[in-house]
Amino acid sequence: MFIDEAKIRVRAGDGGNGCMAFRREKFVPRGGPSGGDGGHGGNIVLESSERHNTLVYFRFNPEHKAERGEHGMGSNCTGRDGRDLVLRVPVGAVLFDDDTGELVHDFTRPDERIVIARGGRGGRGNQHFATPTHQAPREHELGRPGEERRYRIELRVLADVGLVGYPNVGKSTLISRISAARPKIADYPFTTLEPNLGVVTVGEAPYEESYVVADIPGLIEGAHLGAGLGTQFLRHIERTRILVHLVDVSDASGRPDPVEDFRVILRELANFGHGLEGKPMMVVASKADVASPEKLKRLEAMAKRRKLPFHAISAVTGLGIDKLKYAIGERVHELRAESAAERAVG
């Protein structure tokens, strides 16, 4: 089950209470106060992990509580601190404060750890309140309560390339041809119900490179208003470096104008926001083996006007697949180099 959003409620452990005790020992008539401190409550920690790829655990376990600290004891014994509770999320998870909507942390690398709720401090025992004029104090402190917070977690997959387009344009078939991914493929709309990832390798060892492709469920006009599957999965291409827009140029699509298909999807990307429509893009004419020559010509002319790279492919026959695969690899390599240069300057 693919779950890409969850809300959680967390509470760190309370601090243990300080102890009120007096030293009572033979031949020690004035032993004095000996109450130990309470232990600190456990923190709640969020950690990114490459071994997790969904938020399903949080969907069915929304509440989490860390261990409280033990109370102080006599003979100046301090209570044990509560154990931290470590919750693991997939790399690519984004944490928001559910009350304010504020971004708390973006987990872009494995093994990142942040404390999302701090445990309460343990109370002081009566040993701390002794003074020369108050030698038998009965004061002691209660432990402080741990923090209680509510968060929203979103999962945004980490991919270099995002495949977008109408349902049934051949996105799933393409990703199955260029990678080892095996998504469900069928001849009805919305076959893809969740994002699929595939790793594509280009070149030969020791100079081979790889990039990750995300196959996103198809969009239709009005998706930003909830039509079809809506835009709920577009967050998964926010991190991509390049978008590959597949357009069906066959007569079987039932849509007469491939250029209008392109514009519709571009409008849906713009309505979603986050700058998706401004990402580097390639235009791919899908199902070229059964293409309408007029549709293919119009789409190619449009791509030329917009100065977008254009490729015609057939995922069924293999026409143009290798050329497209290497062209995407070259563009991803260029964008990675530009990103690295910007980080070096920054």
Quick: pLDDT tens for 12-44. 999 999 999 998 888 877 788 999 999 999 999
Whole-number Å distance between alpha carbons of 224 and 229: 9
Residue 190 has pLDDT above 60, yes or no: no
Lowest-confidence range among 91-105, 139-153, 271-285?
A: 271-285
Residues 168, 122, single domain; the answer is no
pLDDT tens, 233-248? 787 788 889 999 999 9
Shared domain for 136 and 171, answered yes or no, is no
Q: Which amino acid is at 127?
A: Q
Q: Annotate 84-102 with b (16+ C-beta within 10 A) or e (fewer).
A: bbebbbbbbbbbbebeeee
CATH code of the domain in which 22 resides: 2.70.210.12
- Listed residue (86, 144, 82) closest to 115, CA to CA: 86
Q: Is the dihedral of CA 218, 220, 225, 227 positive or negative?
A: negative
Q: How many other C-beta atoms lie within 10 A of the C-beta of residue 289?
A: 15
Tens digits of residue pLDDT in 282-308? 999 999 888 888 999 999 999 999 999
Q: Which domain does 54 fall in, by range?
A: 5-155
72 near 40, Cβ under 8 Å? Answer: no
Residues 119-168 have pLDDT tens digits of 999 999 999 999 998 988 999 999 999 999 999 999 887 788 989 988 88
* Over residues 307-319, mean pLDDT: 91
Pairing relationship of beta strands 85-90 and 93-97 according to DSSP bridges: unpaired
Please compute the mean of the pLDDT values over residues 325-343 and round it to a whole number.
Answer: 88
Q: How far apart are CA 261 and CA 266, in angstroms?
A: 9
Tokens describing residue 107: 């987990």
Question: How much is the pTM?
Answer: 0.73
Angle at 284 between CA 294 and CA 169, to 5 degrees: 85
Residues 218 and 341 both lie in one domain? yes
Same domain for 151 and 170, yes or no, is no
State the total domains in the chain. 2
Regarding whether 232 and 83 lie in a shared domain, the answer is no
Could you give the maximum distance between any two Cα atoms of the chain, in Å?
Answer: 107
Q: What is the pLDDT confidence band of residue 63, given thresholds at 50, 70 and 90?
A: very high
Q: Are residues 286 and 150 in the same domain?
A: no
Mean pLDDT of the chain: 87
Looking at the fold, whether 178 and 91 belong to one and the same domain comes out as no
266 and 310, same domain (yes or no): yes
Cβ neighbour number for residue 180 with a 10 Å cutoff: 10
**Do 177 and 308 fall within a single domain?**
yes
Burial zone of 145 (CB within 10 Å; 0-12 exposed, 13-18 middle, 19+ buried): middle
Asked if 34 contacts 24 with a C-beta cutoff of 8 angstroms, the reply is no
Q: Bigger pLDDT: 191 or 118?
A: 118
- State which of 113, 132, 155 marks the end of a domain: 155
- What CATH code is carried by the domain that includes residue 210? 3.40.50.300
Point out the domain boundary residue: 86, 121, 155: 155
196 and 66, same domain (yes or no): no
The residue written with tokens 């057939």 in the block is 314
* Same domain? 132 vs 228: no
If asked whether residues 131 and 181 sit together in one domain, one would say no
Domain boundary among 131, 155, 179: 155
